[in-house]
Amino acid sequence: MMNRALELIQDKKFAEARAAVKEMNPVDIAALFEELEPEQTVMLFRLLPKETAAEAFAYMTPEVQEQVLSALTDVEVQTVLDSQFMDDTVDMLEEMPANVVKRVLRLTDSETRGMLNRLLNYADGSAGSIMTTEYVDLKQDMTVRQAFDHIRRTAGEMETINTCYVTDRNRILEGVVTVRELLMAEENTLLGDVMEKEPLSVSTDESDEEVAQLFSRYDLLALPVVDRENRLVGIITIDDAVDVLQDANTEDFEKMAAMAPSENTYLKTSAFTHARKRVVWLLVLMISGVITGNIISHYEDAFAAIPLLVSFIPMLMDTGGNCGSQSATLVIRGMALDEIRPRDFFRVVFKEFKVSILVGAVLAPVNILWIWLRYQNFWIALTVGLSTLVTICVSKLMGCILPMAAKRCHLDPAIMASPLITTIVDACSIFVFFNMALLILKV
């Protein structure tokens, strides 16, 4: 579908292109815009029915949005803005250069402008920054019939009507009622009698990730956002919560691989930015690698006497690193999903200790056996085997303790992930190994 539309545009068969694109989903139309040359972008935008174009606009990347905006007339920009939801306009403005923001704000009426300015002021990553102000606002003393009249009149401008909000004359949130509950109630019932009182709500400065977790935990479709006086200022809808959830997961993946989180998709980020986001941790970890190296050089006599010892270093380091990242990943993920809480500290540590013993009981004998068979030296085999066991225990314990400790210090547990743990565990395993060698092999 998309490829055909693209061909038609490139062949300049505009009437046919228009017909093909019109049938597409706005999300796919937005993706199609990504593929076009700048001059084609504006042309196609004008070809489309106004409503379709405006709907697709909300899903475009900031680059394409900027292209389109700068080529449209003031009247056209106004049409686009009118048909957009407030939260989408805010998302867009956050990415635009100052001159575009200025123009957009100039083209909106003063009420909308005030609202946009307020929304733009909420800190990035707060509930306020992802909420919208287009919700159905009802009163307790309305009847169900009056509520429906109100909904019918305003539905076109609302982000959702599936959940409606009941406020008093000071905009204090009093309750929520779903359209389903309204449909099932008698026409003359008062909203005060059908609404759910004391609904779950969040404040504007709540973190957006916490909000997203609430959606996931309570199976919500929308959540009211209130200010300090419990006045309703906006709502957050599930589509935005899902985006936050996905972004939070991506960020955790990045942090756990020792990178600063990126704001953009992989391909849209320049090589220079990629390098900048990765090089700091690499430098830090390289220096920790040097420390491990220093430990090794203390034992030059040992591996001068038995050079074979050196060849076990990679295996021990890898095993330690892998064990540590297994534990760290499970604990970090468990805490992110709220399945592991601070009070579970000792349960987790004890469980990881048991797991270490079980895993060590498999890996250590395997090592002892093959080294013994291959090098015909039981004592070297025993040295490596016991070092494997100790390395596994140390790395699994580090892997679970460090992220939980980070959380307790209000740091992000994800930075305590594999790479950092690996370097710490490396130093430990080398230390254990050579001391074991000194002890058992008397080198």
Task: Tell which positions 199-238 bind a copy of itself, by CB under 8 A.
Answer: 200, 215-219, 221, 238
Is residue 4 part of the contact set for a copy of itself (CB under 8 A)?
no
- How many other CB atoms are found less than 10 A from the CB of residue 268? 12
Among 9, 29, 225, 245, binds a copy of itself (CB under 8 A): 245
Among 164, 317, 386, 404, binds a copy of itself (CB under 8 A): 317
Least distance in angstroms from the C-beta of 138 to a copy of itself: 14
Q: Which residue, among 172, 181, 197, 175, has the nearest Cα to 148 in the 3D structure?
A: 181
The CA-atom distances, in angstroms, between 263 and each of 33, 249, 267, 419 are 21, 13, 12, 22
Span interacting with a copy of itself, options 33-41, 43-51, 118-126, 272-280, rule CB under 8 A: 272-280
Task: Tell which positions 326-345 bind a copy of itself, by CB under 8 A.
Answer: 326, 328-334, 337, 339-340, 344
Among 65, 129, 167, 319, binds a copy of itself (CB under 8 A): 319
128 in Cβ contact with 100 (< 8 Å): no
The encoded tokens of residue 35 equal: 């593929």
Is residue 22 part of the contact set for a copy of itself (CB under 8 A)?
no
Is residue 367 part of the contact set for a copy of itself (CB under 8 A)?
yes
| Amino acid in position 18 | R
Is residue 249 part of the contact set for a copy of itself (CB under 8 A)?
yes
The encoded tokens of residue 119 equal: 């929304």
Among 70, 351, 438, 443, binds a copy of itself (CB under 8 A): 351
Task: Tell which positions 144-173 bind a copy of itself, by CB under 8 A.
Answer: 148, 151-152, 155-156, 161-162
Is residue 281 part of the contact set for a copy of itself (CB under 8 A)?
yes
Q: Which is nearer to a copy of itself, 123 or 286 (CB)?
A: 286
Beta-sheet strand order (sheet of 222-226): 202-203, 222-226, 232-237
Task: Tell which positions 297-316 bind a copy of itself, by CB under 8 A.
Answer: 297, 300, 303-304, 307-308, 310-316
